[in-house]
C-alpha cells in the first residue's frame, strides 16, 4: 500500500493565509504557492505523526473539505501528491 510523508530534513517553512499556503523549501531554495486543495493535502500530512496511506489520507481530506471520496477526488489527490513530490516537499515511503 502506498504511503506518503512530508520531508522534514531540512524542514520547510510555511505560512497559511485564508485557504492558501506558501511553502519555502530550504533544500531547493524554491518557494511554492499551494492552491486550496493541495494546501489541505499538505496540512493534513504536516499534522500526521507519521506517514499516511493513500486511503487514510483521502478519508481525512474528504472529511475536512466536506466532499465526496469518489474517483474524481482520488484523481485530484494523486495529482496533488505528485505535485508536492515534484516540489521536493513530500516522499513516498515503504
* pLDDT for position 18: 78
> What SS3 string covers the chain?
CCEEEECCCCCEEEEEECCEEEEEECCCCEEEEECHHHHHHHHHHHHCCCCEEHHHHHHHHHHHHCCCCCHHHHHHHHHHHHHHHHCCCEEEEC
24-68 residue pLDDT tens: 998 899 999 999 999 999 999 988 877 788 899 999 999 999 999
Higher pLDDT, 10 or 88: 88
- Cβ neighbors of 17 (< 8 A, separation 6 or more) are none
Q: Cα angle vertex 90, ends 17, 31, to 5°?
A: 45
Query: Does any domain span residue 38?
Result: yes
Q: Domain range for residue 46?
A: 7-93
Residue 1 has pLDDT above 60, yes or no: no
- How many residues belong to the chain? 94
Return the percentage of the chain with pLDDT > 90, whole number.
55
Query: Does any domain span residue 2?
Result: no
Give residue 94's pLDDT band: very low, low, confident or very high (50, 70, 90). Answer: low
Task: State pTM to two decimals.
Answer: 0.87
Number of domains forming the structure of the chain: 1
* pLDDT for position 77: 95
* pLDDT for position 93: 84
Give the CATH number of the domain where residue 65 resides.
1.10.10
Query: Does any domain span residue 46?
Result: yes
Amino acid at each position: 500500500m502506498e504511503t506518503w510523508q512530508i520531508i522534514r530534513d531540512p524542514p520547510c517553512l510555511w505560512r497559511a493565509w485564508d485557504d492558501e499556503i506558501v511553502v519555502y523549501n530550504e533544500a531547493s531554495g524554491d518557494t511554492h504557492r499551494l492552491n486550496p486543495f493541495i494546501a489541505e493535502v499538505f496540512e493534513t500530512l504536516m499534522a500526521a505523526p507519521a506517514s499516511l496511506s493513500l486511503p487514510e489520507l483521502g478519508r481525512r481530506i474528504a472529511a475536512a473539505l466536506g466532499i465526496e471520496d469518489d474517483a474524481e477526488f482520488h484523481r485530484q489527490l494523486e495529482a496533488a501528491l505528485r505535485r508536492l513530490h515534484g516540489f521536493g516537499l513530500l516522499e513516498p515511503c515503504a
